[in-house]
């Protein structure tokens, strides 16, 4: 779902249904990948030039951070962009920042 978001300095907010971690064998990676892919598609369809992602599902949904980083990067790198030209990963803590930095450095 795409909405406006009050007084904040961005145009839209894309609300994604997050993937809850169970045991890793319940299609979690496909669900999380779909969160990223569908959000990117919505951003393209809304003619947005950039999108920022929080660390989707790594909080109360219990998704292991290292696996979530892998899924996020695969989804973003594998997406065929039309309008979006900048993707920002917003990291809540030093651990997530380090995981993203290390993984992206390996690209």
Render pLDDT for 8-65 as a digit per residue (tens, 0 to 9). Answer: 666 777 888 778 899 899 999 999 999 999 999 999 998 989 898 989 999 889 999 9
Q: Is the pLDDT of residue 105 over 60?
A: yes
Asked if 41 and 1 touch (Cβ cutoff 8 Å), the reply is no
Q: Of the CATH numbers 1.10.8.60, 3.90.79.10, 3.30.390.10, 3.40.220.10, which one belongs to the domain with range 2-105?
A: 3.40.220.10
Is residue 72 classed as helix, strand or coil in its secondary structure? helix
Which of the 8 DSSP states describes residue 81? Answer: -
């Amino acid at each position: 779902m795409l909405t406006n978001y009050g007084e904040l300095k961005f145009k839209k907010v894309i609300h994604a249904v997050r993937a809850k971690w169970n045991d890793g064998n319940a299609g979690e990676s496909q669900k999380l990948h779909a969160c990223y892919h569908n959000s990117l598609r919505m951003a393209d369809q809304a003619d947005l030039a950039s999108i920022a992602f929080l660390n989707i599902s790594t909080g109360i949904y219990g998704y292991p951070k290292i696996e979530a980083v892998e899924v996020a990067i695969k989804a973003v790198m594998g997406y065929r962009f039309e309008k979006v030209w900048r993707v920002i990963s917003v990291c809540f803590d030093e651990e997530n920042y380090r995981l993203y930095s290390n993984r992206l450095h390996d690209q």
